[in-house]
Structure 1
């Protein structure tokens, strides 16, 4: 009998539900590049409506969605402001520089939160030597900070700074609905403080593929052309858009279960000698677990975990990231705790 895999690597590993697969098979199809795939059009309309924005664009990945936002908001040679451990800056293969033609101005945040006064200070003044600031980027939830949610008041203050300086704000909202669940607000309340937002349907929402870029009609019209440039113009994409519709209608409301499982995992792991977790930083479905005092490095632990069927990803030499999701049950959490305890002790 095959050993059950306990996959805590990411919420991207989720599999579609049976109902989601049925919706995919039944989807009404057309050619999305021509704008006549009814299912894609419906998904984009639903996404815009949920977030209180004018329009949306279905894209293959969140990385493409973020790059499209940067390209659409800026012109080559400008500079964009980012938190120094943001996903756009660290994990998107320097697309903003290579393809978007802009340079990054990074700010050190606190748990992913940038100080609005520092943001204001680094906006470029008129000077022949300087690039122009073209965009401010936020991330909510903040991946590297362990899925922590950015407070709405902070987003509001940064948005105010941006508007006073005639700058657009883009939100990498890959896990936007996790943030909404933690903050106990509707997602549209978060994105009222940004001009555009990208969110993933392929993470905690369980769709197999895809993200949405949302903003004004004019912004989306320009982004659509850049999507074609980047090779993101899909044809009968309604097959996967149907999964996205189901994700938005049925899967956003269950994210709190994943958050409860993450909190349980964190609480039990911190009871094991040699393991350190800041429980106050476990907001959503990501836990950064520090094994420094255990005497093990991540390169030693991860293969041992895998031999027992537990899959994880390293953050660095001593910290391992665990992510809960729809396919991680409460029993899986307890089984993971048992495996880790046996190896550490």
Structure 2
């Protein structure tokens, strides 16, 4: 079966498994797991931040970031496509008692002017605008990438208005490989960053929250109350270290295959629109007379899995377990 539902469906390679089994571990809740500490130090240094906190998921790191960057009755600015708004179960309201104001960007990419225009006045009738959340790459934007200069401009507005900047970097490595940007430059733009190891990098589980030592100290308390403390987590952290050291540059292969995959839909009569921003996500809009469920069922019978992504949309995501041979087979299936 060719599985393009997500880049989270990957399985650890033999080399990754060997690294995991050889890991030195301890109790991470007691701060005694040496492999977790190595990972946290490594990823914090990668983006030029003081500290990091290893967590089970990107949803948790995003939710912890919201909790430590806001107060009840605050408001977060993010794009209408953002993961924290669409796919985290209303967590901002439930966990932090904050509201969200949606911006309307280009494939999820908004501008500094959008932020400036949507900051609430200092008036008791309005929620306090306190945080800006940037998602890079943008999942619902077909893997679209925020230009670094745009992020810097947003950061200036945020600093001028005393707003916290948070990066939902579930696929930040895809963005960095696409643009060639220095991760240190991204780190300078954000108070907190959520970085995922279980998507494009292929680790079985885990994300990290990055920030100052003070912020990560507070984040540990929130992780505890959310039930995110893990014990001998070094086995999992070892996989993340392996992924970080071996699976970043190979993301170019995923991007190349996604581009070829997008080209396959150009001549399909049932496809009305294709969104593919040059990373590893392809979104197709299907004609209304071609039900998405029926199309997905037909593909599944032929050995291809994808997911519905809206009423008339389908998302396909390339990853390290999707090979050139599978790409050729996909061509035959779609034909």
Q: Does TM-score exceed 0.5, indicating one fold?
A: yes
Q: Give the one of 293, 296, 309 matched to 1:315.
A: 309
SS in 1 for 2:241: helix
Query: Residues 224-243 of structure 1: matches in 2 within 5 Å?
Result: 224-243=220-239
| Distance apart, 1:331 and its partner CA | 1.6
Contact kept in structure 1, 2:302 and 2:333, CA below 8 Å: yes
Q: Give the one of 168, 173, 177 matched to 2:173.
A: 177
Match of residue 284 from structure 2: 289
- CA distance in structure 2 between the partners assigned to 1:96 and 1:317 by the alignment: 25
2:48 maps to 1:91: no
Query: Residues 191-340 of structure 1: matches in 2 within 5 Å?
Result: 191-278=187-274, 281-292=276-287, 295-340=289-334
SS in 2 for 1:22: helix
- CA distance in structure 1 between the partners assigned to 2:164 and 2:212 by the alignment: 12
Contact kept in structure 1, 2:274 and 2:282, CA below 8 Å: no
| Distance apart, 1:211 and its partner CA | 0.3
- Report which stretch shifted further, 237-246 or 114-123: 114-123
SS in 2 for 1:138: strand
2:26 maps to 1:30: yes
Match of residue 44 from structure 2: 48
| Distance apart, 1:166 and its partner CA | 1.0
| Distance apart, 1:111 and its partner CA | 1.1
- CA distance in structure 2 between the partners assigned to 1:276 and 1:255 by the alignment: 28
Contact kept in structure 2, 1:205 and 1:251, CA below 8 Å: yes
Contact kept in structure 1, 2:148 and 2:181, CA below 8 Å: no
TM-score by length of 1: 0.94
Deviating beyond 6 angstroms after TM superposition, the runs of 4 or more aligned structure 1 residues are: none
Match of residue 111 from structure 2: 115
Q: Which runs of 5+ in 2 are unaligned?
A: none
| Distance apart, 1:278 and its partner CA | 4.1
| Distance apart, 1:258 and its partner CA | 0.3
SS in 1 for 2:123: coil
- Report which stretch shifted further, 129-138 or 239-248: 129-138
- Report which stretch shifted further, 22-31 or 110-119: 110-119
Query: Residues 8-157 of structure 1: matches in 2 within 5 Å?
Result: 8-157=4-153
- CA distance in structure 1 between the partners assigned to 2:149 and 2:293 by the alignment: 39
SS in 2 for 1:126: coil
| Distance apart, 1:277 and its partner CA | 4.5
Contact kept in structure 2, 1:265 and 1:334, CA below 8 Å: no
- CA distance in structure 1 between the partners assigned to 2:184 and 2:88 by the alignment: 26
- CA distance in structure 1 between the partners assigned to 2:334 and 2:311 by the alignment: 17
Report the aligned-residue RMSD: 1.2
- CA distance in structure 2 between the partners assigned to 1:278 and 1:237 by the alignment: 40
TM-score by length of 2: 0.97
SS in 1 for 2:131: strand
- CA distance in structure 2 between the partners assigned to 1:228 and 1:24 by the alignment: 24
Q: Which runs of 5+ in 1 are unaligned?
A: none
Contact kept in structure 1, 2:130 and 2:162, CA below 8 Å: no
